[in-house]
Amino acid sequence: MRIGIIYTSISGNTKELALLINNQFKQRSLDVYLYSIEQFACHRLDEFDAIVIGTYTWGNGEIPDEMMPLYQEFKKIDRRNIVTGVFGTGDSFYPHYCGAVDMFRDLLNVKTDLSVTLKVELLPQQQDIARCNKFVDLLLARFENLILH
Ligand SMILES: Cc1cc2nc3c(=O)[nH]c(=O)nc-3n(C[C@H](O)[C@H](O)[C@H](O)COP(=O)(O)O)c2cc1C
């Protein structure tokens, strides 16, 4: 099983979360690849069995500009055989808390086999490690389910 984590981060919160999730996959000895969005070519989605997207939220609950090509790529495809998950950091001071996670969730739910989402308030804390663990477990459970059917 080949897993790709693609994230964006400006001030480091989402990067920290991406690293925690990456570690959880690695602890299970899985074949996981971590990319910042600048390192990832969108046409490569088909090389992965599972894609995990990490994003902060910008503007008024919006997806950051640099993630739009990836969002548009998912709009074009129809891949119910790719298991996906989406995580993000945000600030609940804003009316649309982690709005970018919600937008990816809604799209991936239609275009892929979306298994799990995770929202974290700003910088991940100790208690978020257990949530990352659960995130990875749920994604893997969905993958196993897909294989069996
Ligand atoms: C101009 C601006 C707009 C933002 N808008 C939102 C928003 O609508 N919803 C939200 O949950 N967080 C919002 N945030 C908070 C960021 O998403 C949050 O700080 C995030 O953790 C940053 O991630 P990063 O450290 O990975 O760059 C905004 C931050 C800035 C500076």
Burial class (CB in 10 A: 0-12, 13-18, 19+), 133: middle
Domain with 55, as residue range(s), is: 2-148
**111 CA distance to ligand 1 middle (Å):** 26
Other C-beta atoms lying within 10 Å of the C-beta of residue 40: 20
147: phi then psi, degrees, rounded to nearest 5 = -65, -40
3-state SS, residue 14: helix
Per the structure block, which two tokens stand in for 36? 């910042």
* Nearest ligand 1 atom, CA 14: 26
Cα separation, 149 vs 143, whole angstroms: 10
State the CATH number of the domain containing residue 65: 3.40.50.360
Dump pLDDT digits (tens) for 39-76: 999 999 999 999 999 999 999 999 999 999 999 999 99
| Ligand 1, pocket residues at CB < 6 Å | 9-15, 56-61, 89-91, 94, 96-99, 122
Number of domains observed in the structure of the chain: 1
| Interacting residues of 27 by C-beta distance below 8 A, sequence separation 6+ | none
Closest residue to atom 1 of ligand 1, CA basis: 59
Dump pLDDT digits (tens) for 121-139: 999 999 999 999 999 999 9
